[in-house]
Amino acid sequence: MPQDWTEKLLHWYRQHKRDLPWRRTSDPYAIWVSEIMLQQTTVEAVIPYYERFLKRFPTVKALAEGPEEDVLKLWSGLGYYSRARNLHKAAGMLTGDFPDTVEALMVLPGIGRYTAGAIASIAFGKRAPIVDGNVIRVLSRLFLISEDPKSSAGQKIFWKKAEEVLPHKHLGDFNQALMELGATVCSPENPACLICPVSEDCRARHEGRPEDYPTPKKKTEYRDVLMSAAVVEERGRILFLKRPATGLLKGMWELPMVEGDVATLVKRWDVSVLKPLPTVRHSVLNRRLKITPFLCSLPKRPWKSDAGEPERRWLTISETAELATSSMNRKILKHLKG
């Protein structure tokens, strides 16, 4: 009797899966942390953050009792900081046993249907489907699904198919196998069909056009943004300001910065420019930032700015390693270290 494709996929996964730290545990808290970190972030980038985070916050209780600023420090450079705030907030909501159903998990901030399904299936063996970019790619090629996965109709089709294909057991392994196949073999371009464990069952491969599935998404239209930053240095220390408690990157620390040229920087922050520093580039969503830092000094008169009086810190370069700041600021600091 021919082997079902799900059995072939599971066998392949157990033989070839990557050795990732969150796959060595059944602790739902650790799995939750990994799933939140992996949103919009590569596995390679997440691993060191994950290990540092669990060392500092080994349990839900430790995370709930920790200051938000400490959470943001450990998240610094990982991006999408609302993930860290939601993780911290959710930890404070948890009492008693960790929720083990999709419905109960989705009550927590920052946990949507995919993350809830991943935790429920991997940590608790529950029958819960998952749908992310990797799973969509595998399913669309296996079953020749041409609907746009971002449309409401496409979402319904992919979630329905993901539930239909779930086997009767080994739910966590199966869901991870789907993701692993999409991440390592069934890639968006030049998929490695020759080593794919389910290539014989793949309808897109039989048609000779796997790269046509899923429906190619429209290319992101980027907006170029010019920014300027002030590196104010006094006696070996650099000035950092705390962002407001609302809005983008709320509560994090950054160099005085503006969208615009050096004249805008001087007008807003009332600094004296000494010299330009190497320009850095950074992408955020659909914006391509070109940031020119300037070595600056503060005027001898009392410092004022049209941004009010944000909380400030004077830090050495080595002290900024523990600062809750964005990867954009770290790129500037990297040049200063050099």
Annotated catalytic residues are 35
Report long-range pairs for 208-214 (Cβ below 8 Å, ≥24 apart).
210/141, 210/186, 213/137, 213/140, 213/141, 213/144, 213/145, 213/146, 214/136, 214/137, 214/140, 214/141, 214/145, 214/146, 214/148, 214/149
- In 3D space, the residue among 89, 120, 80, 124 whose CA is nearest the CA of residue 103 turns out to be 120
User: How many CA atoms does the CB half-sphere of 307 hold within 13 Å?
Assistant: 19
> Do residues 176 and 17 touch, judged by C-beta distance below 8 A?
yes
Tokens matching residue 165 = 């294909």
Q: Name residue, tokens 């079902």.
A: 4
223-234/287-297 β-pairing: parallel
Tokens matching residue 141 = 């090629």
> Do residues 183 and 46 touch, judged by C-beta distance below 8 A?
no
Residue 155, judged by CB atoms within 10 A of its CB (0-12, 13-18, 19+), counts as: middle
Amino acid symbol at 15: Q
Cα(137)–Cα(93) distance, integer angstroms: 35
- The 3-state DSSP class for residue 155 equals helix
